[in-house]
Amino acid sequence: MPENSAKFRNRKSGIRKVRRVAHHVVLIILAAFWIFPVYVLLVDSLKSTQGVLTTPILLPASSSLNSLISTFQVLMGQFFNSVVIAVGTAAISTFVGAMAAYYFYRVSSRINDVIFTIIAIATFIPFEVTAVPLDKLLITIGLFNSIPGLIFSFLIFFLPTGALLMSIFIAVLPKLTIESARIDGANDWTIFSKVVIPLTYPGLISTFIFILIETWNNFFIPLVATSTPNVSTVSLSLLSYTGGYGVLYNDSFAAALVASIFPLLIFVFLGRYFVRGLMAMGTGSKG
């Protein structure tokens, strides 16, 4: 019955068209909801004081860079602290984590499995629970309220994370490659630096980016480990920009933009590495 089947196909394609349109409409609406806070962030951090006084945050107004510039000048010190701390923590965690991962990869034993499992579980513990002992430890070793103290504190959380992530990424290396390096007479350090590091490059970047973003955005650890603004990070500094009565919202949004621009740009340009780190963290896959 050729006519019959042709009609049938027609009806189907009509449904399909409606479905396709609905599919895109739903996606666009959801995307609009998700992008909305960034719209607000950009529009309002660029508002002039005049605009702030005449429009609510959801509506655009004449723009000016004044508030962004002045806020950045205020937060420059903290911004720089954040760069140093985040890059330092991410670099050390990735590299030292990779070393540990190399060890766990090279030497497999029951005890190592247990140690590794404990560390892996510990990295998922909410870090708020360490507030008191962290505070006490930092005061005891004299690192409280200092940049090195902050990096040290972050390393406690992110070095195990680095080891966990790198263990996942290192596992793709064929064991034979390492064995052939041993036969070639290479010691552990040579194998690690000349063979393992170059061959796990993408995994290293993923781990680095993941920890970089996590460290930059962390609020709680600087809150516990510091007490003065000069060693504070930019994400902690936002605390003084919450919507009290003295604050104009353009300054508040400008501060939020200053605090977010660094990880946001990294996400835009190197997001796939961040996602790969996330996937590895969640499922142990090297995606």
The reply on whether position 242 binds another protein by CB under 8 A is yes
Q: Toward another protein, which CB reaches closer, 2 or 56?
A: 56
CB of 230 to another protein, least distance (A): 18
Is the separation of the CB atoms in 45 and 256 below 8 Å? yes
Classified as helix, coil or strand, 142 is coil
User: What DSSP designation does 63 have?
Assistant: B
Q: Toward another protein, which CB reaches closer, 147 or 264?
A: 264
- The Cβ-side half-sphere exposure at 186, using a 13 Å CA radius, reads 16
- The stretch among 65-73, 143-151, 231-239 that binds another protein (CB under 8 A) is 231-239
Q: Toward another protein, which CB reaches closer, 73 or 193?
A: 193
CA distances from 153 to 130, 146, 215, 221, 237 (A): 10, 10, 11, 7, 18
Angle between helical axes of 147-170 and 201-217 (0-180°, round to 10)? 140
Is the separation of the CB atoms in 157 and 211 below 8 Å? no
Amino acid in the structure at residue 220: F
CB of 136 to another protein, least distance (A): 8
Interacting residue with another protein among 7, 73, 194, 227 (CB under 8 A): 194
The reply on whether position 284 binds another protein by CB under 8 A is yes
One-character DSSP codes across 198-219: HHTHHHHHHHHHHHHHHHHH--
Ranges within 7-36 binding another protein (CB under 8 A):
12, 19, 23, 26-27, 30-31, 33-35
Ranges within 195-224 binding another protein (CB under 8 A):
195, 198-199, 213, 216-217, 219-220, 224
Using CA of residue 97, residue 99, residue 102, residue 108, what is the dihedral sign? negative
- The stretch among 62-70, 71-79, 142-150, 186-194 that binds another protein (CB under 8 A) is 186-194
The reply on whether position 106 binds another protein by CB under 8 A is yes
The reply on whether position 267 binds another protein by CB under 8 A is yes
Q: What token pair was written down for 128?
A: 């708020």
CB of 17 to another protein, least distance (A): 13
63 bridge partner residues? 47
Ranges within 41-100 binding another protein (CB under 8 A):
41, 44, 56-59, 96-97, 99-100
- The stretch among 63-71, 72-80, 108-116, 142-150 that binds another protein (CB under 8 A) is 108-116
CA distances from 276 to 116, 159, 232, 279 (A): 21, 18, 30, 5
Interacting residue with another protein among 120, 143, 145, 229 (CB under 8 A): 120
Amino acid in the structure at residue 94: T
CB of 261 to another protein, least distance (A): 10
Ranges within 125-184 binding another protein (CB under 8 A):
125-137, 155-157, 159-160, 162-164, 167-168, 171, 174, 176-177, 179-184
Nearest to 156 by CA among 225, 234, 259, 229: 225
CB of 203 to another protein, least distance (A): 11
Give the total of residues touching another protein (CB under 8 A): 121
Which residues contact residue 227 at a Cβ distance below 8 angstroms, ignoring those fewer than 6 apart?
144, 145
